[in-house]
Structure 1
Amino acid sequence: MVRSHLVELMRRHQLRTTELARLANVNRSTVAALTRDRATRVDLTALERICTVLGCGLGDLLEIVPDEPRQNDNSPTAGAT
């Protein structure tokens, strides 16, 4: 799973979703999806623009974390990668 640190970065720069979208010239829904960890596909150009506005690298914005096993899944392969 990919986790976004956008909320923390926006807070540090005192930016709201609409302001960041305008400054980065990306769709507001893209920024909103990233803040909620709901983005499934994001254009690399959009990520680059967001990082440029925030003065950060891609690794500061996004982090890969292991998926958590489901509570009700008792199969032997649950959570296996």
Structure 2
Amino acid sequence: MTRCHLARMMGEHKMRIADVARETGLSRATLTLLYKETAQKVDLDAIEKLCLLFGCKIGDLLELQPQMSKELPDGI
């Protein structure tokens, strides 16, 4: 499972979704999915824009958490 820390970062910078949308040009819909951690996939350009806005690394924004109950498919 991949965790997105957009909500935490927005809180630290006292920003709302509208603020982030205005500063990055990303849609409110995309930001809401990331904020609520319901996004199934994310464009790399979106991640880049968010990292530039918050002055962070990708690892600060996204975190991979292993799931014990799911096995990876063969060959991965």
Question: Under a length normalisation based on structure 1, what TM-score does the superposition of the two structures give?
Answer: 0.80
- Identity across the alignment (%): 38
Q: Distance in 1 between matches of 2:4 and 2:68?
A: 16
**Residue number in structure 1 paired with 2:48:** 48
Runs of 4+ residues deviating >2 angstroms: none
Question: Under a length normalisation based on structure 2, what TM-score does the superposition of the two structures give?
Answer: 0.85
Higher relative contact order (CA 8 A, sep 6+): 2
Q: Distance in 1 between matches of 2:64 and 2:57?
A: 14
Larger Rg: 1 or 2?
A: 1
- Structure 2 alignment gaps of length 5 or more: none
- Structure 1 alignment gaps of length 5 or more: 70-78
Q: Distance in 2 between matches of 1:46 and 1:68?
A: 29
Q: Distance in 2 between matches of 1:30 and 1:47?
A: 11
> How many residue pairs get matched?
72
Q: How does 1:4-23 map to 2 (within 5 A)?
A: 4-23=4-23
Residue 80 (structure 1) shift: 3.7
Q: Distance in 1 between matches of 2:43 and 2:23?
A: 16
